[in-house]
Chain A
Amino acid sequence: MDGRLANRWRLTVNEKKFIETALASNLRIDGRNPLEYRKIIIKFGREDGSSEVQLGQTHVMGFVTGQLVQPYQDRQNEGMLLIFTEFSPMAGPSFDPGHPGESAVELGRIVDRGLRDSRAVDTESLCVLSGKLVWAIRIDLHIVDNGGNLIDAANIAALAALLTFRRPECTLGGDDGQEVIVHPPEEREPLPLIVHHLPVAITFAFLGSEGKLVVDPTHSEEAVMAGRLIATVNANGDICAIQKAGGEGVPQSAIMHCLQLASMCAISITKKINSAVEAYSTERALRKIKRHPTVAGNVSVAGSDVKEQNKTVEQVGGSELSRHHIERLKVVSEETCSSRSNDNDGDIKSSEQGGTSRGESKAMNFLGGPSNWYGASTFQYFF
């Protein structure tokens, strides 16, 4: 399709010069200083093992699923870790929905190397029956929005999803102890994966003729950069992997400097991941308590009374929204079937707030119209 070339985005010469000149006085176009990371927001989905990471304008989703398969011939006692990366055409106008381009393959390889080769995930614990059945953990990374530095964001998404994934427990049974029984989550609590350490990828870009160093490049900076170095380190200061594939040559001192910076960044990122995962785990544990109707209203951990009443009333949608929003849905705090139509109203209203918190300021003014329209359309069926 000839039109494709015309559709590709290109940086203008003016923008390029502006970025380089600004960097000469240690200024970046989004106001950060050269060694500063963008804001990281880690959210989790409804199911175990689904994460959503926002790094500035970059948006990546990670989904982890598990399956019982036959192990490889030469690794009969180990489970498998498979990483699939898809650059969705959603992320940018130049991404082809067909076969993955080289940047997609590179991203997949970097994340894969960080997790597998550094033995971050314990694969031996994934073995169920040696030589016959092992768990294959599949990580799907969907790049949804390309705001630069996809590798770091994808890595964080993969780690967050792995930490919150739960696999069903299976026991050996049957006459000869060779039959594998997989227990559903209602019967036995699913188990988390054993993750020894968290390898975090930090991307450094070298810009301009004298190789100025910036951390966490944005999309425009990536288009201007002369070279790139990705260091995968963990919070203990161990270097798991380094990738510098081509680009401008940099002196050895610059590389050592990068690695030191990477260790420092890794500590703060690891802390963020861990606190987000912990918050999710406690919320998940609270959710589990409420499955039994007998303890409905008696369990009162500070501040979550409203959420509990939500669950016992089985307002599944309402609880999902309340997880996303900071404000409590006071409308839903009442109770049961009678107030359902009111609840719909409350949910639609909070969707407006949800839209505000997600889309940035330009979305705010326009939320009134369409959301209200959707509010009206849902009531058509109330004849």
Chain B
Amino acid sequence: MESERDDGRSPSQLRPLSCARNVLHRSHGSASWSQGDTKVLAAVYGPKAGTKKNENPEKACIEVIWKPKTGQIGKQEKEFEMILKRTLQSICILTLNPNTTTSIIIQVVNDDGALLVCAINAACAALIDAGIPLKHLAVAICCCLAEGGYVILDPTKLEEQKMRGFAYLVFPNSIVSVLPKGSSHVEG
């Protein structure tokens, strides 16, 4: 059942992507990633000397700071930071520079659906721009389960609100992490 989406895309079609590298001057690496109207700016500083208190000093440490567009930093921002940190920890080679911290700062410029996915892609591009050695790249995509039970990719904000559940998938060369989010029972 091919149902038309609001902006006329087919269910497995992504919005136009665009990425720009080296957009900031002070940071060691930076990238801006946009999927349709969702736009995220990522900057990387590192490796800096020293690790935080609870971190293992025998390995490099990744620190993620998420800056929302407006408003105070709340639980959701902390959750995004945690997810992003774990994802990036799995792609960075942590044994290369022990007792250092690499900071990744994410700034949300506009949110029109698939925000975390956009941020993961932006962070990966910024790490490449900074020259941080990586095992492989992290490519993220968002899929939603629509009312009719079919899957659509890369939802906009309106589509996200109407969905029954969604999952963010991050691929290196094989599936690394699957984070299902949703409330309804999934069939099939």
Q: Within the assembled complex, what's the spacing in Å between the Cα atoms of A134 and B161? A: 29
Q: Is A204 an interface residue (CB 8 A)?
A: no
Whether B37 pairs with A320 at a CB distance below 8 angstroms is yes
Q: Is B17 an interface residue (CB 8 A)?
A: yes
Q: Is B3 an interface residue (CB 8 A)?
A: no
Chain A residues near B7 (CB-CB < 8 A): 314, 316
Q: Is A20 an interface residue (CB 8 A)?
A: no
Looking at B45-53, B82-90, B179-187, the stretch in contact with chain A turns out to be B45-53
Q: Within the assembled complex, what's the spacing in Å between the Cα atoms of A340 and B27? A: 36
Q: A316-B7, A348-B18 are in contact. Are A46 and B125 (CB under 8 A)?
A: no
Among B9, B18, B69, contact of A347 (Cβ-Cβ < 8 Å): B18
Whether B105 pairs with A89 at a CB distance below 8 angstroms is yes
Whether A47 pairs with B16 at a CB distance below 8 angstroms is no
Q: Is A138 an interface residue (CB 8 A)?
A: yes
Whether A374 pairs with B19 at a CB distance below 8 angstroms is yes
Q: Tell me, rounded to whole Å, the shortest Cβ–Cβ distance linking A18 to chain B.
A: 20
Q: Tell me, rounded to whole Å, the shortest Cβ–Cβ distance linking B21 to chain A.
A: 6
Chain B residues near A363 (CB-CB < 8 A): 21-22
Which residues of chain A in 348-368 are interfacial with respect to chain B, using CB atoms and an 8 Å cutoff? 348, 350-351, 354-355, 358-360, 362-363, 366-367
Q: Is B26 an interface residue (CB 8 A)?
A: yes
Q: Tell me, rounded to whole Å, the shortest Cβ–Cβ distance linking B140 to chain A.
A: 11
Whether A89 pairs with B45 at a CB distance below 8 angstroms is yes
Whether A145 pairs with B27 at a CB distance below 8 angstroms is yes
Judged by DSSP, the binding face of A is: mixed
Which residues of chain A in 303-356 are interfacial with respect to chain B, using CB atoms and an 8 Å cutoff? 313-318, 320-321, 336-337, 340, 343-344, 347-348, 350-351, 354-355
Q: Is A1 an interface residue (CB 8 A)?
A: yes
Looking at A90-98, A103-111, A188-196, A266-274, the stretch in contact with chain B turns out to be A90-98
Q: Tell me, rounded to whole Å, the shortest Cβ–Cβ distance linking A349 to chain B.
A: 10
Among A3, A84, A347, contact of B48 (Cβ-Cβ < 8 Å): A3
Interface string of B92-111 (1 = CB under 8 A from A): 00000000010101010110
Q: Is B74 an interface residue (CB 8 A)?
A: no
Chain B residues near A63 (CB-CB < 8 A): 69-70
Whether A358 pairs with B23 at a CB distance below 8 angstroms is yes
Q: Is B117 an interface residue (CB 8 A)?
A: no
Whether A46 pairs with B110 at a CB distance below 8 angstroms is yes
Q: Tell me, rounded to whole Å, the shortest Cβ–Cβ distance linking B162 to chain A.
A: 17
Whether A147 pairs with B26 at a CB distance below 8 angstroms is yes
Which residues of chain B in 128-174 are interfacial with respect to chain A, using CB atoms and an 8 Å cutoff? 128, 139, 141, 153
Q: Within the assembled complex, what's the spacing in Å between the Cα atoms of A351 and B125? A: 14
A interface size (C-beta, 8 A): 64
Chain B residues near A33 (CB-CB < 8 A): none
Whether A359 pairs with B23 at a CB distance below 8 angstroms is yes
Q: Within the assembled complex, what's the spacing in Å between the Cα atoms of A336 and B57? A: 55
Residue from A90, A320, A340 whose CB has the most chain B CB atoms within 10 Å: A90
Chain A residues near B45 (CB-CB < 8 A): 89, 93
Whether B26 pairs with A91 at a CB distance below 8 angstroms is yes
Among A6, A140, A374, A377, contact of B69 (Cβ-Cβ < 8 Å): A140
Q: A50-B110, A90-B105, A146-B26 are in contact. Are A317 and B15 (CB under 8 A)?
A: yes
Residue of A nearest to B24 (CB): A145
Q: Tell me, rounded to whole Å, the shortest Cβ–Cβ distance linking B14 to chain A.
A: 6
Chain B residues near A321 (CB-CB < 8 A): 16, 18
Among A144, A315, A377, contact of B41 (Cβ-Cβ < 8 Å): A144
Q: A63-B69, A63-B70, A97-B65 are in contact. Are A367 and B18 (CB under 8 A)?
A: no
Q: Is B59 an interface residue (CB 8 A)?
A: no
Whether A317 pairs with B41 at a CB distance below 8 angstroms is no
Which residues of chain B in 23-56 are interfacial with respect to chain A, using CB atoms and an 8 Å cutoff? 23-27, 30, 32, 34-37, 39, 41, 43, 45, 48-53
Q: Within the assembled complex, what's the spacing in Å between the Cα atoms of A381 and B18? A: 17
Whether A381 pairs with B12 at a CB distance below 8 angstroms is yes
Q: Tell me, rounded to whole Å, the shortest Cβ–Cβ distance linking A161 to chain B.
A: 11
Chain B residues near A360 (CB-CB < 8 A): 22
Q: A91-B26, A313-B8, A316-B7 are in contact. Are A7 and B21 (CB under 8 A)?
A: no
Q: Is B20 an interface residue (CB 8 A)?
A: yes
Q: Tell me, rounded to whole Å, the shortest Cβ–Cβ distance linking B104 to chain A.
A: 10
Which residues of chain A in 208-235 are interfacial with respect to chain B, using CB atoms and an 8 Å cutoff? 219
Chain B residues near A318 (CB-CB < 8 A): 16
22 contacts between A and B (CB under 8 A): A2-B50, A7-B48, A46-B112, A63-B70, A65-B70, A88-B65, A88-B67, A89-B45, A90-B67, A138-B70, A144-B41, A147-B25, A316-B15, A316-B37, A337-B8, A340-B9, A343-B16, A347-B17, A354-B20, A363-B21, A366-B21, A374-B17
Given A59-B24, A89-B105, A374-B17, 10 more contacts at CB 8 Å? A45-B39, A86-B67, A142-B107, A313-B8, A315-B16, A316-B37, A317-B36, A374-B19, A378-B17, A381-B141
